[in-house]
Amino acid sequence: MGQRHDVVIETLFRRLETIILMDSEAVCCETMDDDSEGWEEWEEKEDLEKQHCLFCECLFDTAEAVFKHCGSEHDFNLEGFVRENGIGFYDYIKMINYIRKRAPRPEELKCEVASRPWDSEEFLFPAQVNDGLLQYDVESLLEHLEACGTDGKMETAEEKVTRAEEKLSSAMSDLERLRIVVHDLLNTPEPSVDVASLRPSEDEAYFDSYAQLSIHEVMLKDRVRTQSYQDFIYKNEHLFKDKVVLDVGCGSGILSLFAAQAGARHVFAVEQADVVHWTRETVRENGFEDKITIIHGRIEDVDLPMDKVDLIVSEWMGYFLLFESMLDSVFTARDCWLKPGGAVYPDSCALWLVGIGNPAGHEAEIDFWNDVYGFRMSSLRRAAAIEGRVEMVNPTHILSQPVLVKRIDCCTDTVRDLDFVTNFSLHITRSAQLTDLCAYFEVYFEANCEHTVLLSTAPDKPPTHWKQTIFIWEQPFDVTAGEEICGSLACCKQAQDPRALAVTITLGSKQQTFLLQ
């Protein structure tokens, strides 16, 4: 791991651990002393270097002095800026690093705030070593506002304790999330991790899951899935007639059988899972043993008995389109075995996002943890919110237009293109409480086709075994019809398991990271 990654992790961990210690101290103080007016100031144990102003070359001993100077000399009130624009922990770190690296003028920063120009993983990396502004507890700037209710009255001691406990639980969960997600992200080697880098022994669990008959039964009984491939192959026989076809991850062998039936000269069907033994028997039973060759192994490791193939076909899609990272294997097969001018099918695909309003679902999945047989389980609530879920979405819960977040060309894109960040604008179609975001995908059979085929997993289309992927906001928020909400979606493989994904979604001022694993 590089030195700059070490600095990021150290800075973020030190910041969170400081918050945790402050919150722990606050809980103790509020419990022991009902008359306490606030938290004791946390004193840094390390001697920091002098701190640069955000907008000029002036140096100061403390972060507070920097902020005071920015307000008096540059007309930039950090407290007001943070409060008015909903800037939290992660946004604050990115914003400081953005200012250090891009050097916008204060008036430019005020104009740019709506577009969140610092909303990139690039700005998690400190621009200055030992930057005290990054370790400053920005949330303490707003402490006096949180201490007052909407009627301006000061909190009772009991209310202070409750709030302090909630902040402590939140900070503890943030630290755990940081360990799982940020540390994992920053330790991802270059180039991006892909399944080709796994040793067969490291991939056993994945292929063992496909050795069970039940999973193939589910896929074959998914008529939308299987019939889409059948329609594409049988209604475009000109693509297969007398061609050599490679079926990547053939499973039960159904696509190989379709291709042979459509007139392929020969089909090489590659499968690592032990279902391959049943597939061989199926090929023999249907009289295609002279046309279909079953190869037991990973596509990354096998040798085909010929130099190149004319066409690659594969049903590689996972939940959220990219879960399980089987598209990596298709790209490996394409780059190793496909003739120049050959084709891959499906030839393209798209990932879509739509807003969902489902308060009852949120209550059942997230708010449930607020009262479990009389006990609060806040840490489990936050853990539940991190998980991406695979569910069928009721189309009546949709409250926005769908927005495209990723398009993939299976013939030209590379593994590196599958880790991505996309900015988008979500157009709200009805006023409601936005509780979830729903992701679904479409794949297209179009290139050189006489009969094009679309396979869609959208909520308003016939159901498939992929269902939809749901990302539940821990804190729902109200939206208004006609509103445009700017956001972004970042997707990357997890370093410890490149078949699993980490998805970070920003919507307006809110940001949440989800895990698919």
At 181, give phi and psi (nearest 5°). -100, -60
Q: Is 58 left (phi over 0), alpha (psi -120 to 50) or beta?
A: beta
Nearest to 328 by CA among 316, 338, 336, 346: 316
Q: Annotated catalytic residue: which of 30, 271, 300, 324?
A: 324
Q: Annotated catalytic residue: which of 30, 315, 365, 442?
A: 315
What are the beta bridge partners of residue 296? 271
Distance between CA atoms of residues 502 and 516, nearest Å: 6
Count other C-beta atoms under 10 Å from residue 351's C-beta.
Answer: 21
Asked whether 64 and 44 are in contact (CB, 8 A), the reply is no
Six-digit token pair at 165? 């406990």
CA distances to 217, 219, 410 from 457, in Å: 19, 14, 18
What are the beta bridge partners of residue 354? 438
Nearest to 94 by CA among 191, 182, 190: 182
Half-sphere exposure of residue 320: CA atoms within 13 angstroms, side-chain side:
29
CA dihedral angle for residue 213, residue 216, residue 222, residue 223, rounded to 10 degrees: -110
315 is catalytic: yes
Say which amino acid occupies 460.
D
Asked whether 155 and 149 are in contact (CB, 8 A), the reply is yes
Six-digit token pair at 73? 């000399």
46 is catalytic: no
Nearest to 67 by CA among 161, 137, 155, 156: 137
Largest CA distance in the chain: 87
Q: Which residues of 288-301 are buried (b: 16+ CB within 10 A; e: fewer)?
A: beebbbbbeebbbe
Distance between CA atoms of residues 179 and 185, nearest Å: 10
CA dihedral angle for residue 325, residue 276, residue 444, residue 327, rounded to 10 degrees: 20
Asked whether 17 and 137 are in contact (CB, 8 A), the reply is no
Q: How many residues does the chain have?
A: 517
3-state helix, strand, coil in the chain (%, to 5): 40, 25, 35
398 three-class SS = strand
Asked whether 459 and 468 are in contact (CB, 8 A), the reply is yes
Half-sphere exposure of residue 337: CA atoms within 13 angstroms, side-chain side:
27
Three-state secondary structure readout of 318-368: ECCECCCCHHHHHHHHHHHHEEEEEEEECCEEEEEEEEECCHHHHHHHCHH
Distance between CA atoms of residues 505 and 491, nearest Å: 9
Residue positions annotated with a catalytic role: 315, 324
